[in-house]
A and B are shown apart, each in its own frame.
Chain A
Amino acid sequence: MAGLAASFGSGAMTNSIGEVEKADTIFVTGSNTTEAHPVIASKMKKAVKNGTNLIVADPRNIGLTEAADIAVTQKPGTDIALLNGLMHVIIKEELYAEEYVEERTENFADLKEAVKEYTPEKVEEITGVAAEDVIEMARTYASVDRAAIYYAMGITQHKSGTANVFAIANLAMLTGNVGKEGTGVNPLRGQNNVQGACDLGGLPNVYPGYQSVEEPELKEKFENAWGVDELSAEAGLTVVEMINKAADGELRGLYVMGENPVLSDPDQQHVEEALEAVEFLVVQDIFLTETAEFADVVLPAACFAEKDGTFTNSERRVQFVNKAVDAPGEAMTDWQIFCELAKRMGYEMDYSSAAEIMAEIAEVTPIYGGISYDRLEDEELQWPCTDQDDPGTKFLHQGEFAHGKGIFHPVEHIAPVEAADDEYSYIMMTGRMLYHFHGGSMTRRSAAVDQHEPDAYVEINVEDAKELGIEDGDRVKVASRRGEVETYARIGSIVKPGEVFMPFHYAESPANRLTNAELDPIAKIPEYKVSAVKVEKV
């Protein structure tokens, strides 16, 4: 997000999901698409059947590699080296979009200089990807008319996450693959309304529509719109900062709506300590989650099937959520709860429907300016959609970037914080699996999927398993410097020797008890993808 915003001026998926099938080459990296975004993976496979080239770069032999023309397994945390290597080859072989670079970007000279030393041979040394594969990937990506990059948390959940995104953006701009149908830089959102939560001000530094809280004019605009005297002019805290401050006793109140940081945040023990320490914790959710257990007040909320509203998907498309059943017992929708609460604190929030709230959103949020419930009844709208006549935007940056010219941000390979050593000799990655979702509060309580995948597991390579004397289905203990968990072993060749993988959906074997809270300095994303661990049979 932060990386994309700096490069292009906007941090969302540049192109649309429907354009997957229009690309000549698709480059997937850091996304286990078949498990985390299965519908998009199907579109990719369909595109491959119709002649699209598919490049997959992921530390694991993920499902999509079967359909790939080239699939490589770089070492965890070496994405920048790989991406710089591709750019090295592209520049050396003059496969880049000279005219585009000239007209639409800035800072090319620095980029050229920075990637100069990333020869395929050096890249092979750092990443473990064969030099000839680096060359072939570069050619396959750069020699077509339309090449699209898709990535997910495998790119961002690193200490170097923002730098990784810079590298991706550099690659796309270098080849002219931004601002054109069937191309782009496309981060796949893991949750159905992450995009909407970001769009509507769920971030400490911006009001809805990415309007900076530090910009006096904007502050004033919102003060007027909301009828309040003085809004804070300083950016607030990010999730991990909140947890740290809470643990230090500097944060007294925490209000959590529909989140489960105990399972989803890194270094679980630390999170638990923080929640214990915070003076007043309100949790508004549909279940008594692991986080809610720590709360002082728990408010029962309605779930997606019990309310009206909108979600904004990965491709910036605003879509309806419609009420199908009544909420159980006295559970209320989240928005009604806030109206009630605000009233009690002396601020009148009076909306009779979600549609009314959207009307207010449109007034104060330029990128949502043209969105209304009336239009959504029969139109498909993707932001930016600034007024009633704006049909919305299928792909961004056509002709011009959001802030004029695209800026190359050259980046260097940075080694992950933790490396395998004698004691913690395996590198653990975390991620998703097809049958469960996030903290598991929904899927673990859905009979069919949970019956199909009832048990947590750790993926171990066959060779390592042999060495450790572990067989498929054995109970094993996985430990890091931060904690340990017990789980089942799943032996195979999805992970390479020396690497293990754990899904993070299982409360009984929480992978995040092991992960590192080390943050990316810009985006503040924890390094979930690289933790040094040891594994032993129980």
Chain B
Amino acid sequence: MDTITVTIDGQQVEVDQQATLLDAANKLDIEIPTLCYHPDLTLHGSCRICVVEDAESGNLLASCATPVTDGMKIKTASDKVITARKMNLELLLSDHPNDCMTCEADGACELQELVYEYGVTEPSFGLMEEQKFEVKNENPFIEFDQNKCILCGKCVRVDNEVQCSGAIDFTERGFQSKVGVPFDQDLGADHSSCVFCGQCVEMCPTGALTYKPAKGLGREYELESVQTTCPYCGVGCQIELKVKDNKIVKVGSVYQEDSPNPIGETCVKGRFAYDFVDHPERLTKPLIKKDGEFEEASWDEALDYVADKLTTITEEDGGEAVAALTSARCTNEENYLLQKFMRGVVGTNSIDHCARL
């Protein structure tokens, strides 16, 4: 493919013809702030935060939406650019609650970050005085506070383009525009096609969409993230367990090219069914049944008992008198070891699992 040379803040860079100004800047590690842009979603171009200046004409261009043309000269931090970004931030702030202190997204809010970075300390247009919308949170999964929405449309796009459930879309016009749900009901209500995959929450740059079960359990910056494979169906989605104090607080998306779920897809189970992990009914000690009742035992006691019993049976009736069920939910390594144990130590090929079920 033919390449094009553009100059950004005085540095030349060669990019392919299809590239946008944002791509070109990224290549130079020049940071341009964005709110509505996401590489996996269709181009929206609505937040107007990523504007840059065309040095020749002085025009402001949305860098996410403007293709490069040969010889273009771009300024990403001119006064004009900064003024425009700042004013658009002020405009967003004028229509946004000022409750960062208690907001679930505090510390992970892209609007908060930019407002701070651009020093919007005294917004020209004041702050939102009264809530425009009632918060929707009757379902157990997602809290939807339309007041905090900046209409970047990432949720709408991921819902319609990736999850394809068509649960949310833009409604109303002008200042009353919002991301709407059918009949203004809660997500998941009678007429809602929401399936609680949570991808909208992952995409939301503010606190408009948040996970209900994670509420109050930890600020994003306190959480440790561990990538792993979802424990449910056979798709093998990559997910991110977010942990605080040895407790899974929420499940985040992993955006990894060439994985089974490259755009962070998951379903409601992968996203929300994690609290069995620290459920009070988890087994914490070996149990041995004595006189029909389980009694707690030490590992040594339990393992010795199992070893003795298996040894006795095999000695008396051969390995064939014992069988094992391996698990479709244990790891490859564990399945391997169980069959090795049964075949090599106990002496039976009677190993199966519920693949057929």
Direct contact of A and B (CB under 8 A): yes
Q: Are B260's CB and A332's CB within 8 A?
A: no
Q: Are A253's CB and B321's CB within 8 A?
A: yes
User: In the complex, which residues of chain B have a beta carbon less than 8 angstroms from the beta carbon of A333?
Assistant: 334
CB-CB contacts below 8 Å: B266-319 with A: 266-269, 272-279, 281-289, 294, 299, 302-307, 309-311, 313, 317, 319
Q: Are B162's CB and A42's CB within 8 A?
A: yes
Closest to B232 in A: A437
Q: Closest CB-CB distance, B64 to chain A, in whole Å?
A: 22
Q: Are B266's CB and A255's CB within 8 A?
A: no
Q: Are A354's CB and B333's CB within 8 A?
A: yes
Q: Are B333's CB and A361's CB within 8 A?
A: yes
Q: Are A449's CB and B265's CB within 8 A?
A: no
| Complex Cα gap A378–B333 (Å) | 20
User: In the complex, which residues of chain B have a beta carbon less than 8 angstroms from the beta carbon of A253?
Assistant: 309-310, 313, 321-323
Number of A residues whose C-beta is below 8 Å from B? 147
Q: Are B333's CB and A309's CB within 8 A?
A: yes
A10 on the interface (CB 8 Å rule)?
Answer: no
Q: Are B286's CB and A298's CB within 8 A?
A: yes
Which one of A94-102, A195-203, A483-491 contacts B?
A: A195-203
Q: Are B344's CB and A228's CB within 8 A?
A: yes
Q: Are B286's CB and A443's CB within 8 A?
A: no
| Complex Cα gap A437–B268 (Å) | 11
Within 8 Å by CB of B323, from A251, A320, A525, lies A251
| Complex Cα gap A358–B334 (Å) | 10
Q: Are B304's CB and A194's CB within 8 A?
A: no
Q: Are A526's CB and B357's CB within 8 A?
A: yes
B180 on the interface (CB 8 Å rule)?
Answer: no
Total number of residue pairs linking A and B with CB closer than 8 Å: 468
Q: Closest CB-CB distance, A153 to chain B, in whole Å?
A: 8
Q: Are B163's CB and A42's CB within 8 A?
A: yes
Q: Are B286's CB and A300's CB within 8 A?
A: yes
Which one of A111-119, A124-132, A237-245, A417-425 contacts B?
A: A237-245
User: In the complex, which residues of chain A have a beta carbon less than 8 angstroms from the beta carbon of B339?
Assistant: 200-202, 207-208
Q: Closest CB-CB distance, B46 to chain A, in whole Å?
A: 21
Q: Closest CB-CB distance, A245 to chain B, in whole Å?
A: 8
A398 on the interface (CB 8 Å rule)?
Answer: no
Q: Are B234's CB and A305's CB within 8 A?
A: no
User: In the complex, which residues of chain B have a beta carbon less than 8 angstroms from the beta carbon of A321?
Assistant: 228-229, 331
| Complex Cα gap A380–B262 (Å) | 12
User: In the complex, which residues of chain A have a beta carbon less than 8 angstroms from the beta carbon of B348?
Assistant: 232, 236
Q: Closest CB-CB distance, B258 to chain A, in whole Å?
A: 5
Within 8 Å by CB of B331, from A196, A339, A344, A446, lies A196
B238 on the interface (CB 8 Å rule)?
Answer: yes
Q: Are B353's CB and A239's CB within 8 A?
A: yes
User: In the complex, which residues of chain B have a beta carbon less than 8 angstroms from the beta carbon of A93?
Assistant: none
Q: Are A288's CB and B236's CB within 8 A?
A: no
B126 on the interface (CB 8 Å rule)?
Answer: no
Q: Are B329's CB and A192's CB within 8 A?
A: yes
Q: Are B246's CB and A325's CB within 8 A?
A: yes
Q: Are A331's CB and B236's CB within 8 A?
A: no
User: In the complex, which residues of chain B have a beta carbon less than 8 angstroms from the beta carbon of A17?
Assistant: 235, 260
Q: Are A324's CB and B335's CB within 8 A?
A: no
CB-CB contacts below 8 Å: A26-79 with B: 34, 36-40, 42-43, 45-46, 49, 67
User: In the complex, which residues of chain A have a beta carbon less than 8 angstroms from the beta carbon of B345?
Assistant: 228, 342, 345-347
Q: Are A37's CB and B340's CB within 8 A?
A: no
Q: Are A204's CB and B328's CB within 8 A?
A: no
Q: Closest CB-CB distance, B321 to chain A, in whole Å?
A: 4
User: In the complex, which residues of chain A have a beta carbon less than 8 angstroms from the beta carbon of B332?
Assistant: 193, 196, 199-200, 309-312, 318, 358, 361
A216 on the interface (CB 8 Å rule)?
Answer: no
| Complex Cα gap A297–B195 (Å) | 40
| Complex Cα gap A274–B341 (Å) | 23
| Complex Cα gap A523–B289 (Å) | 35
Closest to B347 in A: A232
User: In the complex, which residues of chain A have a beta carbon less than 8 angstroms from the beta carbon of B306?
Assistant: 282, 297, 299, 341, 344
Known: A333-B334, A452-B139. A239 touches B226 (CB 8 A): no
A405 on the interface (CB 8 Å rule)?
Answer: no
User: In the complex, which residues of chain A have a beta carbon less than 8 angstroms from the beta carbon of B327?
Assistant: 193, 197, 202, 257-259, 334
Interface string of A297-336 (1 = CB under 8 A from B): 1111101111101111111011111111110111111110
Q: Closest CB-CB distance, A251 to chain B, in whole Å?
A: 6
Closest to B161 in A: A46
Interface string of A232-276 (1 = CB under 8 A from B): 101111110010011000111111111101001110000000000
Which one of A137-145, A173-181, A183-191, A466-474 contacts B?
A: A183-191
| Complex Cα gap A354–B333 (Å) | 6
Q: Are B330's CB and A197's CB within 8 A?
A: yes
Q: Are B268's CB and A1's CB within 8 A?
A: no
Closest to B285 in A: A330
Within 8 Å by CB of B141, from A40, A452, A524, lies A452
Q: Closest CB-CB distance, B345 to chain A, in whole Å?
A: 5
Q: Would you list the 8 A-B pairs with minimal beta carbon distance, nearest first?
A: A329-B284, A189-B234, A313-B236, A309-B331, A258-B327, A236-B349, A236-B350, A300-B283
Instruction: Please give 8 more A-B residue pairs, beta carbons under 8 A apart, in addition to A198-B353, A253-B322.
Output: A157-B356, A253-B309, A255-B324, A305-B248, A324-B226, A354-B331, A358-B332, A448-B140
Between-chain CB contacts (< 8 Å), 26 pairs: A189-B233, A190-B233, A191-B234, A191-B329, A192-B329, A198-B353, A201-B335, A236-B350, A238-B352, A251-B321, A257-B325, A257-B330, A261-B325, A261-B354, A296-B288, A305-B277, A307-B331, A311-B236, A324-B248, A342-B345, A345-B307, A361-B332, A434-B269, A445-B275, A448-B272, A449-B140
